[in-house]
Amino acid sequence: MLKNKIKNPIIILGGFLITKEAYDDAKNTIEKFFSRKVYVVDVKRGDWFKSNSAKGWAYILNKVSYTAALALKETNAKKVDLIGHSSGGVILRLFLSDKPFNNEIYNGKAITKNFISLGSPHQAINATTLRKFVDEKYPGNFFKNINYVSIGGQVEISSKQTSLATKLIARGSYKSISGDKNAIGDGLVPLPSSLLRGSQQITLPQTVHGGFFGNNWYGSPPKVKEWWKQISWR
């Protein structure tokens, strides 16, 4: 009798200043409808406040490494699938590297099969120093053994259904990241920035960046189902 194939556990790294609890709905949806065990990296707001330095990024990366090791141990799997929301998606690209970063080597590519980003600012004219470092050192789908998938949202700013927060923030954020205040995006990150070069690119209509911008964000149950089913999983 053949044994049931072990499914890769999912590791979720959230976005800047967003705590673990914000991803409960996404975790529950994936576990219930797609039968995958989900581990959300426990990054505190205080950790994010330190993320303007290599030491701060390394602290978060160490948490990713610990969570991935725990997931492999508890599920007996050989590989994990990574999901990064917003800044988390950029940091996970660095986790894949086998080169030293802040005197640590993570080599996440050795244990990763699929990499998925949600509204991550991958390509930007005005990137932070560390984001720029990642995109210059490991551009696009850099590690060929990894299945890269990038997902971006778009929302109509002038729509009556669009939240006040989105209306107030979107154009300034788009201009800051891409130089174009009239870009299409998810209310925070322009679509061209979130669609990683060389990856499978998925665009979600009527999708905002996070819960602060509205209910229809990447981690809401309907949206999780929408992007999950479009991914060409390996």
Tens of pLDDT, residue by residue over 40-70, are 999 999 999 999 999 999 999 999 999 999 9
Tens of pLDDT, residue by residue over 109-162, are 999 999 999 999 999 998 999 999 999 999 999 999 999 999 999 999 999 989
Q: Which fold would CATH assign to domain 10-152+197-228? A: Rossmann fold (3.40.50)
Boundaries of every domain in the chain = 10-152+197-228
Q: The whole model's pTM is what? A: 0.96
Tens of pLDDT, residue by residue over 170-213, are 999 999 999 999 999 999 999 999 999 999 999 999 999 999 99
Three-class HEC string of the chain: CCCCCCCCCEEEECCCCCCHHHHHHHHHHHHHHHCCCEEECCCCHHHHHCCCCHHHHHHHHHHHHHHHHHHHHHHCCCCEEEEEECHHHHHHHHHCCCCCECCECCCHHHCEEEEEEECCCCCCCCCCHHHHHHHHHCCCCCCCCCEEEEEEEECCCCCCCCCHHHHHHHHHHHHHHHCCCCCCECCCCEHHHHCCCCCEEEEEECCECCHHHCCCECCCHHHHHHHHCCCCCC
Amino acid 5: pLDDT: 75
